[in-house]
Chains A and B, each alone.
Chain A
Amino acid sequence: MIFSDMSRDVAALLESHGVPAREVYLDSENSGMTFPQALEAMQKAYSGSGMGHPSITHRKGWEAYETLYLSTLRLAESMHCKPDEITYTHSGTEANNLAITGLALAAKTRRKIVISAIEHLSVVFPAEQLAQAGFQVIKIPVDRDGFVNMDALASQLDNDTLLVSIAPVNHEIGVIQDTRAIINLVRDKDPEIKVHLDACDAFMKIPLDLEKSGADLASFSSHKVYGPKGAGALYIREGIELRPVIHGQLSTQKLWAGIENIPAITGFATAASLMQEHFDEYTSHMTRLRDRLITGIMDTIDATLLNGPAGPKRSPDNANISFLNCEGEALTLDMSLKGVYVSSGSACTSRILEPSHVLLAIHRKYEEAHGSILMKATPFHTLDDIEYVIPCFVETARRIRSMSPFKTGG
């Protein structure tokens, strides 16, 4: 008997896995939980106020326009920018693509794109695509904690440099860059060089004021602030010229064709407002959980390494730990059977089973990068959740290492 057709029915896999008695979801890097208030706002938008097309001349269109407008006002307040400086996309990935490719398409002479070695693949890949079209792409090295090498950055800033793209908070290792110093360095060298911030992981995790930052472009993702998937945004400072990268019927905005996902944008705005309102409370809470998770694992399991810096230069939500002599995929699956959902590196990295380029850039060896686990604390988690997770890791690491040919305690 041969099953030659791929079945997409996951029922058997789910049945074999079973439903764990307790579940703790720590994988909000890849897809996360949503504020109930955001879901409620979205339901209202789906069923009424956001149903119509905002560019069409009838009552339902005007209602949709108003819903979009009010959401944009709220987001602009959260981001500290003008409403007209926000262009909606459907994800942070799309926003990064629009920022880099859109700026390159509008560029007249400059041909050098500078990114750090630890940027998200939605920054790396568009830049590498542009390299095939004649642009020069420079990747700035980082130190062992992930901080950008400022001397190397300075050496690449000249009158051919079009763009510097840096994430204020790295998605994998949580390092918080000195964005102010980076932008000042760029401005001092050449005020014509544009600065893009991939702010998907910085937004509502650290203070971020776009007007004061001096950035020209900044990307945002709804689900990273516990809004729905399907909404992203690009801040484009007034006066910065981009060209569209997708084409079709325009709606209320000039740079991203197609109808805006108004219900998702409404959820995004609601989530961002909640995070802004409770910023100190939520970031303090996440920091406590993050620190307990990191110390709880590293104090009880031998041969573990923290990826990224410890302390205040680390994003409040981020815990990334390498378990030596463990395969990351094995850890994620075994933890899943215990009801704890984590990821190994980034999702894209995991799919191709290559070591994360971020971990290699901070000088992790291949075997250290392969055994990495990324977890993110959220406002929804409790200390009790974290106390449940720690002994699960102890048991899983012990079991996997007992089958390993290498000798490691834990």
Chain B
Amino acid sequence: MNADITVDAKFKSCPGPLIALAEAVGKAQPGQVVKLLATDPAAPSDVKEWAAGVGHKLLATEKSGNVYEIYIGVVG
């Protein structure tokens, strides 16, 4: 999946990945896709709940080795 913005939060512990993602999403335009790279095992569930709660779309969660790739569709 292609992303407009990539947020590299590898090796950051909770809540670092969510903080970085929220900052990037806040600066993104509606319709853009933000990709979060994270190694924290809590990141997938944290991002899923955060996106559901604040109204953005969780498009996909993939794992490559120890790195999660989480795609968020920005909703205006």
Binding site for B on A (CB under 8 A): 1-4, 6-13, 15-18, 327, 329-330, 333-334, 337, 350-353, 399-400
For the complex, give the distance between the alpha carbons of A15 and B14 in Å.
Answer: 18
Q: In the complex, are the beta carbons of A9 and B23 less than 8 A apart?
A: yes
Closest to A332 in B: B49
Residue from A2, A11, A16 with most neighbouring chain B CB atoms (10 Å): A16
* A3-B42 in contact given A13-B18, A330-B49 (Cβ < 8 Å): no
Within 8 Å CB of B16, what residues of A? Answer: 6
Q: In the complex, are the beta carbons of B49 and A1 less than 8 A apart?
A: no
Within 8 Å CB of A330, what residues of B? Answer: 45, 48-49
B1-41 near A? 1/0 per residue, CB < 8 Å: 00011111100111110111011111100000000000011
Within 8 A of A (CB), among B23-76: 23-27, 40-42, 45-46, 48-50, 52-54
For the complex, give the distance between the alpha carbons of A209 and B39 in Å.
Answer: 47
* A334-B49 in contact given A6-B16, A13-B18, A13-B19 (Cβ < 8 Å): yes
Closest beta carbon of chain B to A250's beta carbon, Å: 35
For the complex, give the distance between the alpha carbons of A234 and B41 in Å.
Answer: 36
For the complex, give the distance between the alpha carbons of A3 and B3 in Å.
Answer: 13
| CB<8 Å pairs between A and B, sample of 6 | A2-B8, A3-B6, A7-B19, A12-B22, A16-B54, A337-B54
For the complex, give the distance between the alpha carbons of A333 and B22 in Å.
Answer: 14
Q: Sorted from nearest, which 9 A-B pairs have the closest CB atoms?
A: A13-B22, A12-B26, A333-B49, A12-B23, A12-B22, A337-B53, A353-B41, A16-B54, A329-B45
Closest to B21 in A: A13
Q: In the complex, are the beta carbons of A1 and B8 less than 8 A apart?
A: no
Closest beta carbon of chain A to B64's beta carbon, Å: 17
Residue from B8, B19, B27, B41 with most neighbouring chain A CB atoms (10 Å): B19
Closest beta carbon of chain B to A206's beta carbon, Å: 33
For the complex, give the distance between the alpha carbons of A252 and B50 in Å.
Answer: 49
Q: In the complex, are the beta carbons of B12 and A1 less than 8 A apart?
A: no
Q: In the complex, are the beta carbons of B42 and A7 less than 8 A apart?
A: no
Main secondary structure of the interface of B (DSSP, over half): helix
Within 8 Å CB of B14, what residues of A? Answer: 350-351
Within 8 Å CB of A352, what residues of B? Answer: 41
Q: How many A-B residue pairs have CB under 8 A?
A: 79
Closest beta carbon of chain A to B41's beta carbon, Å: 4
Main secondary structure of the interface of A (DSSP, over half): helix
Closest beta carbon of chain A to B36's beta carbon, Å: 10
Q: In the complex, are the beta carbons of B46 and A333 less than 8 A apart?
A: yes
Cβ contact of A3, chosen from B24, B40, B54, cutoff 8 A: B24
For the complex, give the distance between the alpha carbons of A11 and B19 in Å.
Answer: 8
Q: In the complex, are the beta carbons of B53 and A334 less than 8 A apart?
A: yes
Within 8 Å CB of A337, what residues of B? Answer: 53-54
For the complex, give the distance between the alpha carbons of A7 and B8 in Å.
Answer: 10
Q: In the complex, are the beta carbons of A7 and B13 less than 8 A apart?
A: no
Q: In the complex, are the beta carbons of A6 and B18 less than 8 A apart?
A: no
For the complex, give the distance between the alpha carbons of A15 and B13 in Å.
Answer: 21
Closest to A338 in B: B53
Within 8 Å CB of A9, what residues of B? Answer: 19, 23
Within 8 Å CB of B25, what residues of A? Answer: 12, 16
Closest to A8 in B: B19
Q: In the complex, are the beta carbons of B26 and A15 less than 8 A apart?
A: yes
Given A13-B23, A337-B54, 15 more contacts at CB 8 Å? A2-B6, A3-B23, A6-B9, A10-B19, A12-B19, A12-B27, A13-B15, A16-B25, A17-B53, A18-B54, A329-B49, A333-B45, A333-B53, A334-B53, A350-B42
